[in-house]
Amino acid sequence: MTTALPSRWPADEDLAAARRWFASRIPGFQPPVAYGVARVDDGGLVFGHVNEPGGEHRLPGIVLASVCGHASGTATYELTPEELRRAVELLAPAEAALHWEHPNLWSWRALLDGAGPADSYLAFFVGDVADPPVDERDAAFRARLG
């Protein structure tokens, strides 16, 4: 693929090309088996869409990993509102694929829209379901997996 992505990704081939493009820019990237985002709201977690093992929405996880600097394994990352907005911006061309729903993109926007001035965000990546949770916040994320 070229050094730039098209501004819209309407076809499955475009989405696959975007996955390859983002993954190629993360040295050692291994797709997570599960991932998600939560807003830290008065100490509690408000989760967006949770991508469970075997899920079909792989591109948002790669985009999120590119923003967090995640390459592989199980990890939790703190995100600023600006970083989550960047993930939304990077993923937005996928909405041109009208034959797919975009629950990650939609839920990330909702998390941003519902935020207070002191709220922050967490990104969760699970490399293997057998990995132990990295902390209590990861344990709360894992509890949402089916």
Mean pLDDT of the chain: 96
Residue 5 within any structural domain of the chain: no
Residue 3 within any structural domain of the chain: no
Domain of 42, CATH number, reads 3.30.70.2010
Distance in angstroms (rounded) separating the CA atoms of residues 75 and 71: 10
Residue 62 within any structural domain of the chain: yes
Q: What is the pLDDT of residues 83-135, one digit of tens each?
A: 999 999 999 999 999 999 999 999 999 999 999 998 999 999 999 999 999 99
Mean pLDDT for 55-64 is 96
pLDDT exceeds cutoff 50 at 2: no
Global confidence as pTM: 0.95
Q: How many domains does the chain have?
A: 1
Q: Which residues on neighbouring strands pair with residue 71, listed in sequence order? A: none
Residue 2 within any structural domain of the chain: no
Question: Which residues, 6 or more positions from 43, have their beta carbon under 8 angstroms from its beta carbon?
Answer: none
The number of CA neighbours under 13 Å toward the Cβ of 141 is 31
Residue 7 within any structural domain of the chain: no
SS3 50: strand
pLDDT exceeds cutoff 80 at 3: no
What domain range is 80 assigned to? 12-142
Q: Which residues in the chain belong to E strands, given as ranges?
A: 34-41, 44-51, 75-79, 120-126
